[in-house]
Structure 1
Amino acid sequence: MPLVASAQERVVINDPSIQFSYVKPSGWEVKDDGYTYEVYAPNSSGAYVSFTYVQRPQGDDYVESLGDKPAFKEDFNFELLYNVAEDVEDFKVIERGKTKIDGATALWAKFQSLSGEQEWISYFYMYPKLGQNFKIMTTAPLAAAENLQEDFEKLIATFEAKKR
């Protein structure tokens, strides 16, 4: 179990049917537009991690803990290649993999993009839990991305969701 420094706090967000929480590192700032929840790293030229979730299609009855059934892979690929890629310029997937988030298997993709003159590195994670597809994305300027990714992963490791 990870140790939490006293400067960090567990932040709890209550939505109508889902509660999620994470440990916010000291100095990080939150922006919440009601759809996407973003946590910005200090002194990082706009680097952040975002959380959101959407209800999975009804009838999607595969075992959630597997996270690698064809229907979920199709959902992940659609989200990555159509929704995520649509919001950025020069979208290029660099790497893909699997990891565990909140006890569930998550698929992830590392990609590079361009916004204005700035190159960015992002990681997009998605996993099924509680009848939802949880989506987490980290975004950082290319020059700072590798250094910040470890901090992002530590924050993501504290993410927990449950039914209200």
Structure 2
Amino acid sequence: MRIIISLIFLLVTLTSFSQRISFEDPDLVFSFEKPKKWEVFDDGYVVKVSPSEKDTASTYFTITYFEDAESFGFFPRTEPAINPHDIASPKINIDGEVASLVEKKQDNSFLNTYTFQKYGQRFEIKTLAASPKTKRIFRKIIRSLRITK
């Protein structure tokens, strides 16, 4: 009976996150699982995932990377600024790499900034979510992230 329940749970989980999205760059390929019916916006620099185009200002997951782990163009590498109202979390793992996480309260939402390095490049993931359900969805996307050369 436990096996049947586990299989049903697995199928429900897979059907709700069944679409793997891939992006190719001359040096890297990165991919992640996208929730069904959510939309992907890619301007060539930043990939943004949101429930719909109208929601991109209030609910989103973005990922971008910089070819130099220390700087980008004329801009030095920066970590998210931490103030007493921010929640600094312990280091977490994203695709086998240690990432820092800073969560900031922004109006009625939480803005999370994850920073990590892989293959000599710096990645930044930002999520903006108002509800615990959306935060869980973003955590699933982040756990599904794969980066290959």
Q: Measure, in 1, the Cα distance between the counterparts of 2:39 and 2:129.
A: 15
CA distance in 1, matches of 2:47, 2:118: 18
In structure 1, what residue type is equivalent to 2:144?
T
Q: Please report the TM-score for the alignment, with normalisation by the length of structure 2.
A: 0.75
Structure 1 CA distance for aligned equivalents of residues 109 and 100 of structure 2: 20
Work out the CA distance in 2 between the residues paired with 1:91 and 1:18: 37
What is the distance in 2 between the residues matched to 1:122 and 1:148?
Answer: 12
Shift of 1:34: 1.2
Shift of 1:42: 5.4
Q: Does 1:10 align with 2:20?
A: yes
Alignment of 1:8-157 (within 5 A): 8-41=18-51, 45=55, 46-54=58-66, 55-57=68-70, 78-81=78-81, 92-114=85-107, 119-141=108-130, 144=131, 146-157=132-143
Alpha-carbon distance in structure 2 between the residues aligned to 1:162 and 1:150 = 25
Q: TM-score, normalised by structure 1?
A: 0.69
CA distance in 1, matches of 2:111, 2:106: 8
Q: CA RMSD for the aligned pairs?
A: 2.8
Q: Aligned partners of 2:141, 2:92: CA distance in 1, in Å? A: 14
- SS of the aligned residue for 1:80 comes to coil
Identity of aligned residues (%): 29
Structure with max Cα Rg: 2
**Runs of at least 5 residues in structure 1 that lack an aligned partner in the other structure:** 59-74
Q: Deviations over 1:132-159 (max 9, x none)?
A: 1111111123xx2x22111100111000
The list of structure 1 runs, each at least 4 consecutive aligned residues, that deviate by more than 4 angstroms after superposition, is 42-45
CA-CA distance at 1:102 after TM superposition:
0.4
Gaps of 5+ in 2: 1-9, 72-76
Q: Which has the higher contact order (CA 8 A, sep 6+)?
A: 1
State how many pairs are aligned.
130
Which amino acid is 1:48 matched to? Y
